[in-house]
Chain A
Amino acid sequence: MSEWIIEVRDLNKYFGKHHVLKDINLRIRFGEVVAIIGASGSGKSTFLRCLNGLEPIQGGEIIVDGVAVNGKNTNLHKLRQSIGMIFQNFNLFPHMTVMENIVLAPQKVKKIPRKEAEAIALNLLSKVGLEDKAYSYPSQLSGGQKQRVAIARSLAMNPKVMMFDEPTSALDPETVNDVLDVMKELAREGMTMIVVTHEMGFAREVSNRVIYLDDGKIVEEGAPEEIFYRPKNPRTKAFLSKVINV
Chain B
Amino acid sequence: MNFDISALYKAVPSLFWGATVTLRVTILSIVIGLVIGIVAGLARVWPNAFLRAISSAYIELVRGTPLLVQIFLVYFGLPALGLNLDPFVAGVIAMGINSGAYVGEIVRGGIESIAQGQMEAALSLGMTWWQAMYHVILPQAFVRILPPLGNEFIALLKDSSLVSTIAIAELTRTGQIIITRTFKSFEIWSGVALFYFVMTYAISRVVKYSEGRLRYSE
Contacts and interface: CB of A to CB of B under 8 A. Distances in A.
Contacts of B217: 94, 137, 139
A93 B124 CA distance: 13
Contact of A80 (B118, B125, B139, B216): B125
Interface string A62-99: 00000000000000011011011101010111110000
Contacts of A104: 125, 135-136
Interface stretch (B105-113, B126-134, B180-188): B126-134
A77 B130 CA distance: 11
A87 B121 contact: yes
A54 B116 CA distance: 11
Nearest to B140: A95
Nearest to A81: B126
Contacts, number: 70
Contacts of B121: 85, 87, 91-93, 150
A112 interface: no
Contact of B127 (A83, A89, A94, A108): A108
Given A91-B118, A94-B218, A139-B218, A52 B124 contact: yes
Nearest to A104: B135
B140 A83 contact: no
B216 to A, nearest CB: 5
Nearest to A76: B123
A58 B139 CA distance: 35
Interface string A155-171: 00100000000000000
Contacts of B117: 87, 89, 91
